[in-house]
Structure 1
């Protein structure tokens, strides 16, 4: 390995900024400033053939980067402290240095002493993947599996807490099957825990941060493995590991774009994984004056669950990006780009189709498949139909506010005119009504909820605006639905119920004591429903339960404080703004801690609640 790093400054800066968007701002700013002041002057030439490109750079572990920096002797990095080098290595490597040792299950005092092979996971209740059932993604847990009823909810108390080492967010939603809990962390470690006690069976280290819900299924022909656990990371890798012991079965990189990310859980169904792909380019492309934006296209990729072999890949924007205009500084721009798929696809067994919502364009004009609801053939990936619910939405972060996000002014990467940023950021909900009709519900960051007919090529059935768009009424990580209503949490604060049949707003419950548009408010975390109760986590760190009948609040608990953990890791709760609770066998599992955006509070704890 070379004793120093050549990094193309524009692309590498984007990788740095990508990390900045998701980590504590103070630390991120230091790391980025160190890189740009100490390294960028030597690495700004894209013609330097010695320089590893961003794809290669992102494949390096932070330990390898740190080793290279420690051996280097050139003048530019003289004066860097050991901590400085570790921060730079963490940015380039996509995770904190030393995670493998510090976060490993083998170092924890609460290792499970009794470790029998997993039994039949179908014999007991489970929450598998993002939405419990991939054929609805409704986040509804029936009474038989929930083991918890409305009368018991006010008695919920913390049974155990598990600390996520070196994590700053509890982003990954736990999957529960066979009496075990499977979850990841933004530090890139995946754990298997005992659902009853929180003791740890094993851990697995990914290359990048992990924020998705894992999925589990039986597997054959994989040695002694009986069940496989599947998940993706923030470096666009998909993994299959033995659910019994965490041993790697296969790993596949699904997208080679340098800032491609898996933010939505891959959907597992009948031997295939359907992987949604998003990127950091939307959040960071507008912050740079020199990055050659934009080149990422959202996609869905189908993988064989047994081998990881790709069956098909469908890009949301069919045409690849081509050179467009150059900036005043001579930076080449590209188009078209965008259409990220942020969330888990939904399966329709009747039409053998996948339903997805797409994000905005990064370049203008915005294509017809951006901000759209789409149906893809499960066998081939062919687009069956597509309905665009918001036109002309080309957007990049950092392009608004008169250039205040960029001290050098507004980047020429910014679309003109700038769109409203109305991505579909959550999974489509597919429900069958009591009269047999079906409805496909799509919730948008605008605060608009759309209902499409899956049996008539996405024909619009109804739409409802839940809150004034100017009130930041975003629906971000999605709602939940029983067979009568859909329920949504709003960034502006509060919970709304909407009739699945008509779109009529059945009730709305504002949250008391919140300052309008203040940092403490917001219910952007995914909701979860059991019969009679809808659960919602808030930016203020409070987990609340509401009656599905009329919306009155029946319980709350503040998770934003320190916890004594079963694994003796120092841990605290914080904002709850992404993944939702999972309810299985009388226990409610939820992570606490979220940083992205104004007002987010860090946290690194998984909590298990039972009625006491």
Structure 2
């Protein structure tokens, strides 16, 4: 039995005891099992019943039908209600599979289903509030209900009213190593509604009460004194996922005779207690490197966690560097991995390889290939290539160039996936100490099934770094280091709006409820060209 993606209105029946993929209106995924009595109620559909099934009619609310005689239920037969015996085998795909899976778990950086921002009104956006900090903010704004959560490089976590920007609470909980090029909360936390989770560059994870900011637990996540987090955390099924990175690459040039010994790994913590549930080591002694810099994706049906990795530091390269990795989300056991760049060994003091880390995390999406819906996973690399694999097997499917690679070139953030397209951006051979307008970035829209271009906006805007855009309806937002936020028509790539921001945008963009949120900052590592204020800033429609 093949895995199938279905639109909301579809329900499949089978004599097999194996689960099928299914999609519910709310956008959450469920494993669909047949009920023991052969009648599947709405309540059982929500719960996911695991039991045997005979060839009987299935009742989901007002819809009742039998399996078709040829074993295939087409769209037309479904709408009419096939009334004949037989065993279901497959669904004939007639259009791309739906996009409305859980967008957070799939890591889509998009919401195309219900956007208050349109091509007609995007020009009305204006700054509505800004919260300032003493320290750079590269934390992606986390929106939960009417609140927004973020943190800064100084070790302070904030909660603010999403509509007004009023700071509801703030709590300085980490002691950053300010002599490091990046420090404090340079990564991005997560929230499950009740708790806010953070993990510092210095190697400590925290859970805070979302209402009060009180620290509920803290856990040391790294044994290496130069290791910690700069990735984006993710929660699922009571687990908190964290990827480790290190500041050792720049320290090789900052400290005489410095020898890197960091070894990358991914951890899962119990979200309620902070206890470490599992760790997956990505490189063994005497090798080093293989950091996790970006975000995660989770397939809840198979219980698979996906992440991407960076280069080795010194010595020989290992097989999990510059790779995508799929693991069992509950145990950390590796299911499959695929390396895209071999022999990538790099530090600032000894730049032997190209430094083609994955700066973009994995993203799950569906596409119809050879007439069948397939679950795919894609990710963007600093080589400038967006790669795609079969999410179940790791089979490479297609790879498309978005821009030119380099240390700060190539893809430096996740794509946005929605509608019938993938929108990705890439720097072109950029170095972060150079003024961003000297190295314009490219934006391209791709066909999810083939990777072919739907449109190209070459040299669209000044360079960006470590940030994803956001697709809101038919409007694609992307920040820039030149202190500006731009919006593009998702259908043809044309620029439709731009505005100045208080400082260089150094986080992914987020949009929600007619508002757009960005984080800004000018870290010292950028050099003399950078300036401006450290803020989280919101744009919205005039009242």
TM-score range, shorter chain: 0.7 to 0.9
Query: Does the 8 Å CA contact 2:405/2:427 hold for their aligned counterparts?
Result: no
Distance 1:216 1:454 in 2: 26
Q: TM-score, normalised by structure 1?
A: 0.65
Cα-to-partner distance string for 1:255-294 (whole Å, 9 max, x where unaligned): 1211112101211112110111111012222444322x22
Deviation, structure 1 residue 217: 1.9
1:549 maps to which of 462, 466, 491? 491
Deviation, structure 1 residue 496: 1.5
Query: What does residue 502 of structure 1 align with?
Result: 450
| 584 and 132 in structure 1: CA distance in 2 versus 1, 3 angstrom threshold | farther
Distance 1:176 1:510 in 2: 32
| 271 and 591 in structure 1: CA distance in 2 versus 1, 3 angstrom threshold | same
1:162 maps to which of 118, 131, 141? 131
Deviation, structure 1 residue 452: 0.5
Does residue 1:277 correspond to 2:282, yes or no? no
Does residue 1:443 correspond to 2:380, yes or no? yes
Query: Does the 8 Å CA contact 1:372/1:390 hold for their aligned counterparts?
Result: yes
Distance 1:468 1:267 in 2: 30
* Structure with larger RCO (C-alpha < 8 A, sep 6+): 1
SS in structure 1 of the partner of residue 244 of structure 2 = strand
Structure-to-structure mapping, 1:382-397, within 5 angstroms: 382-397=333-348
Query: What does residue 421 of structure 1 align with?
Result: 355
Query: Does the 8 Å CA contact 1:138/1:482 hold for their aligned counterparts?
Result: yes
Query: Does the 8 Å CA contact 1:132/1:140 hold for their aligned counterparts?
Result: no
Distance 2:413 2:362 in 1: 11
Query: Does the 8 Å CA contact 2:356/2:406 hold for their aligned counterparts?
Result: no
| 524 and 276 in structure 1: CA distance in 2 versus 1, 3 angstrom threshold | closer
1:212 maps to which of 187, 207, 217? 187
Paired residues, what number?
A: 417
2:107 maps to which of 137, 147, 154? 137
| 511 and 594 in structure 1: CA distance in 2 versus 1, 3 angstrom threshold | farther
Does residue 1:477 correspond to 2:413, yes or no? yes
User: 5+ residue gaps in structure 2?
Assistant: 1-100, 177-183, 429-440
1:609 maps to which of 505, 526, 539? 539
Distance 2:205 2:124 in 1: 39
1:345 maps to which of 290, 296, 306? 296
SS in structure 2 of the partner of residue 510 of structure 1 = strand
Query: Does the 8 Å CA contact 1:134/1:268 hold for their aligned counterparts?
Result: no
Does residue 1:257 correspond to 2:224, yes or no? yes
Query: Does the 8 Å CA contact 1:186/1:210 hold for their aligned counterparts?
Result: yes
Query: What does residue 301 of structure 1 align with?
Result: 267
Distance 1:237 1:175 in 2: 20
**Structure in which a larger fraction of residues adopt strand:** 2
Structure-to-structure mapping, 1:23-102, within 5 angstroms: none
Distance 1:355 1:470 in 2: 24
| 235 and 393 in structure 1: CA distance in 2 versus 1, 3 angstrom threshold | same
Cα-to-partner distance string for 1:158-213 (whole Å, 9 max, x where unaligned): 1111111x21x221111111211111111211111111111111111121311233
1:172 maps to which of 128, 134, 139? 139
Distance 2:406 2:237 in 1: 43
Deviation, structure 1 residue 558: 1.4
Does residue 1:316 correspond to 2:282, yes or no? yes
Distance 1:214 1:315 in 2: 22
| 487 and 173 in structure 1: CA distance in 2 versus 1, 3 angstrom threshold | same
Distance 1:143 1:608 in 2: 21
Q: TM-score, normalised by structure 2?
A: 0.73
| 475 and 600 in structure 1: CA distance in 2 versus 1, 3 angstrom threshold | farther
Distance 1:247 1:472 in 2: 37
Structure-to-structure mapping, 1:537-576, within 5 angstroms: 537-559=479-501, 573-576=502-505
Cα-to-partner distance string for 1:217-236 (whole Å, 9 max, x where unaligned): 25xxxxxxxx1111111111
| 295 and 556 in structure 1: CA distance in 2 versus 1, 3 angstrom threshold | same
2:162 maps to which of 184, 195, 198? 195
Structure-to-structure mapping, 1:101-120, within 5 angstroms: none
**Structure in which a larger fraction of residues adopt helix:** 1
Query: Does the 8 Å CA contact 1:174/1:214 hold for their aligned counterparts?
Result: no
Deviation, structure 1 residue 132: 8.1
